[in-house]
Amino acid sequence: MNPPGSLEGLEPNVDEHLSTQVLEPSVNSDNPQERIQARRLRIAARLEARRREALGEHLDGKKESEEDQSKSYKQKEESRLKLAKLLLCGTELVTNIQVAIDIREIHRRVEEDLKRQRIEKLEDEVKTSQDKFVKITSKWEEGKQKRIPQELWEMLNTQQLHCAGLLEDKNKLISELQQELKTKDDQYVKDLKKQSDDICLLLERMEEQVKNVMKTFREELYHIEKAFEMERQELLASNRKKWERALQAHNAKELEYLINRMKKVEDYEKQLNKQRIWDCEEYNTIKIKLEQDVQILEQHLQQRKAVYQLNQEKLEYNLQVLKKRDEESTVIKSQQKRKINRLQDTLNNLRSKYAKQIKQLQEENQSLTLEYKRLMTQFKELQKAVRHFALIDDEKFREIWLMNEEEAKDLIARAFDVDRIIHTHHLGLPWTAPDFWFLKNVGPISQQPQKSTTQIVEEMLLRTEEEEAEEAASESESYLDLPKQISEKTAKRILMLLCDESVRRGRAAAEGLTGVFCCRGLCRASALGIESEDDLYKLVSFFLQYRAHHLSSSLQSKPCSQASVEEASVEETSMESELELAERTEMEGEKEASLVEGEKGEEEETPPSPWVIHPNDVLKILKAFVKGLRKPRDSQAPLRVQKSVRSNSKDSEYWRALTTVIPPSRLNLWDALYTALEKYHLVLTQRAKLLLENSSLEQQNTELQALLQQYLTSKVGIRAFQGGVAGGGGGDRGQELAVGNKESPPHQRRCDVKNQQWHLETITGQRSRSCLKSPPG
């Protein structure tokens, strides 16, 4: 069997183990053991030392005791180790049995595989036997059909044989199994026995172990006690020995000391005697020497005394000198003190002066500041006056300008009239009135000329409207004191509100109005709000102001709201129809901004805090704003105009232009015309004279004719008369001539007139011809 073998195999192993460790240290294990022992002791010693150190004890003092202790400690350690080993080995010895049984159990379990094999075998067997059985039973059926007895017998025989075989097989199996069972039984019995043996062994060992342990514990205790006892004995013995040794040594030393002392006493006595003698001699010599010294010293003393005397005198003299100096110094000191006092006085004086001065200066300063203030007010007044005068001056300037302009324009009108008359009447040419810009100008020239040409044209077209609008825009100024001082935020905010509200406002306006402006109201509203920055600022400040006077103004604003809506719509229509209006307002806004900046210095109002304006108020405010925009303000307008910076550059040009309203070419024409007319005048006067002459001649003629008639009538006179007319042709000629020429001179004159007429016709044309015709008519 395996298990007992293994157990037996184990035991020597254990024994060996034991022997190697505890019972009898062999050659191999002896050295390491001792080495370990030594090392352990060393460790213990070190630990001890460390502990000592930790406890702060003196190592030196305890060293001996430590050595003494070490023996018992050694014994203790030894026995502890021995006991530990014993316990360990003992438990190992005892548990060895358990381990052996364990391993036996494992082997048994391995053997249990046989069981499985057996079961398989049995199953196989069952299967084969079943087959056989089936075969046999099938043959029974066969047998029943057999009729021939021999065959039946044969078959029965074979059946019997088969059955016997089957039975034999089964029996064999059974016997095998029984055999196995028996062996197993045996094995079981053996196992039981073995186990009981093991248990006995275990008990035995345990008992043995207990006994051993008890014994060894007792032994070790005994050993330890013995060790302690021995140690004590040794300690006692060694201490006693030490004590005795110390005593002996002490005695010996005592004796030695005694002898030494005696010797020393004798020596000292001898030495004393010697010393005495020597001292006596020395004393004498020293005495002599000292006496000599005394004499020398006395001499020295005399000398010293003399020196002393001398020094005393010197010192007295010095003292005197010093005293004098002291006096002097006191005098000087008093002087200095006085001086100090004086200086102190002066200092005080100066201080008081200084304080006074300060006060004075302060007063002065105050008076000066007052003066300054006064001057400032004066200056302001002056400025006001200046402004006032400037206004007046401007007014005067304007008046004068207007007057002059009027005069000039009259003159120009007259010139133009003259020109027109000349052209139409004299020259028979069509006259066109020259159109110059300056002709339309009324009042002093402003910045208008800077505008673009298109704007100028538009302005000329819409002159009247513009003037009105200008005024209207300028009116807004009164509301807008400080557009730029309002913070961006507030502006933005109000703008936002406005943007929101513009829609509504537009609608409200649309509702108030006829449906014409309905769709355009929105964009217009935005245009009004945003188009110009200044307008915006105006609006903002207007808002703020409006807020401030909300309660008071709300009452007033209500009744006129309806009217303001209409007005606003009117303005919007105008703006809608004329885009330039917005531009204009913008421009004016710029202008006003500059103006306002000028004013700002005086009208410094604190910027109102950004109040939250309720959207519902916006509409009202805007209405008020628009209404305010439309409000006429005559008093403010001139103020604004006066304040514009005038440029004189254009004035001279303007006036010069006025002078050159009739161009030089026309003047030349006029001159030429003048000379021609002069000539014509001359001709005409001559002709008038001639006409007079003619009329007088005709009269004479008629008189003469009457005379002739009379003469003829009187027949005598006819001849005479004919002769007299022929003679009278030369004025003072005879009547004969006059009668002779009676027919011929008018013909001649007619020819002359005809010549003259041709001349005039060449100069004056048709009209003059008609004029010439008219006198005969």
> Which residues contribute to the site for other proteins (CB under 8 A)?
6, 10, 13, 20, 36, 39-40, 42-43, 46-47, 50-51, 54, 84, 92, 96, 99-100, 102-103, 105-106, 109
**Is 20 or 574 the residue whose CB approaches other proteins more closely?**
20
**Is 51 or 373 the residue whose CB approaches other proteins more closely?**
51
**Helices (H), ranges, 112-148:** 113-145
**Is 173 or 684 the residue whose CB approaches other proteins more closely?**
173
**Is 80 or 264 the residue whose CB approaches other proteins more closely?**
80
For 513, which DSSP code?
S
**Is 50 or 314 the residue whose CB approaches other proteins more closely?**
50
- Nearest approach in angstroms of CB 183 to other proteins is 19
* 3-state DSSP percent of the chain in helix, strand and coil, to 5: 90, 0, 10
**Is 37 or 700 the residue whose CB approaches other proteins more closely?**
37
Say if CB 70 and CB 41 are below 8 A apart. Answer: yes
- Nearest approach in angstroms of CB 88 to other proteins is 9
Helix (H), strand (E), coil (C) string for 237-287: HHHHHHHHHHHHHHHHHHHHHHHHHHHHHHHHHHHHHHHHHHHHHHHHHHH
What stretch of H or E contains 621?
Answer: helix 615-630
Beta bridge partners of 737: 726
Residue 369: which of 377, 601, 382, 357 has the closest Cα?
377
- Nearest approach in angstroms of CB 16 to other proteins is 8
**Is 77 or 617 the residue whose CB approaches other proteins more closely?**
77
**Is 43 or 174 the residue whose CB approaches other proteins more closely?**
43
Cβ contacts of 250 within 8 Å, gap of 6 or more: none
Tokens found for residue 551:
């309660």
**Is 88 or 408 the residue whose CB approaches other proteins more closely?**
88
Compute CA distances 135 → 131, 154, 166, 739, whole Å: 6, 16, 11, 216
**Is 35 or 373 the residue whose CB approaches other proteins more closely?**
35
Measure the CA–CA gap between 282 and 224, rounded to whole angstroms.
Answer: 80
- Nearest approach in angstroms of CB 239 to other proteins is 30
- Nearest approach in angstroms of CB 98 to other proteins is 9
Measure the CA–CA gap between 692 and 713, rounded to whole angstroms.
Answer: 31
**Is 13 or 303 the residue whose CB approaches other proteins more closely?**
13
- Nearest approach in angstroms of CB 120 to other proteins is 20
Say if CB 162 and CB 128 are below 8 A apart. Answer: no
Measure the CA–CA gap between 373 and 188, rounded to whole angstroms.
Answer: 140
- Nearest approach in angstroms of CB 223 to other proteins is 20
Query: What is the distance in angstroms between the CA of the first residue and the CA of the last residue of the chain?
Result: 197
- Nearest approach in angstroms of CB 100 to other proteins is 7
**Is 112 or 590 the residue whose CB approaches other proteins more closely?**
112
Measure the CA–CA gap between 618 and 522, rounded to whole angstroms.
Answer: 15
Q: Which amino acid is at 46?
A: R
- Nearest approach in angstroms of CB 31 to other proteins is 13
- Nearest approach in angstroms of CB 177 to other proteins is 14
**Is 51 or 342 the residue whose CB approaches other proteins more closely?**
51
Sign of the dihedral through C-alpha 528, 531, 535, 536: positive
Q: Which amino acid is at 168?
A: E
Assign residue 443 a region: left if phi > 0, alpha if psi is -120 to 50, beta otherwise? left
**Is 23 or 519 the residue whose CB approaches other proteins more closely?**
23
**Is 112 or 604 the residue whose CB approaches other proteins more closely?**
112
Count helices and strands (H / E) in the chain: 21, 0
Measure the CA–CA gap between 664 and 672, rounded to whole angstroms.
Answer: 12
- Nearest approach in angstroms of CB 235 to other proteins is 25
Compute CA distances 11 → 6, 19, 333, 407, whole Å: 9, 12, 127, 162
Measure the CA–CA gap between 36 and 55, rounded to whole angstroms.
Answer: 28
What is the b/e burial string over 360-373, where b = at least 16 CB atoms within 10 angstroms of the residue's CB? eeeeeeeeeeeeee
Residue 481: which of 537, 557, 532 has the closest Cα?
537
- Nearest approach in angstroms of CB 184 to other proteins is 15
Question: What SS3 class is residue 442?
Answer: coil
- Nearest approach in angstroms of CB 84 to other proteins is 8
**Is 7 or 725 the residue whose CB approaches other proteins more closely?**
7
- Nearest approach in angstroms of CB 42 to other proteins is 8
HSE-up of residue 245 (Cα within 13 Å, Cβ side): 6
Tokens found for residue 596:
């306002």
Q: How far is CA 602 from the centre of its chain?
A: 37
Say if CB 455 and CB 580 are below 8 A apart. Answer: yes
- Nearest approach in angstroms of CB 57 to other proteins is 16
Other CB atoms within 10 Å distance of the CB of residue 618? 20
**Helices (H), ranges, 644-743:** 649-659, 664-713, 716-728, 735-740
Q: In which residue are the tokens 């014993």 written?
A: 86
- Nearest approach in angstroms of CB 76 to other proteins is 13
**Is 6 or 212 the residue whose CB approaches other proteins more closely?**
6
- Nearest approach in angstroms of CB 103 to other proteins is 4
Tokens found for residue 464:
């009247």
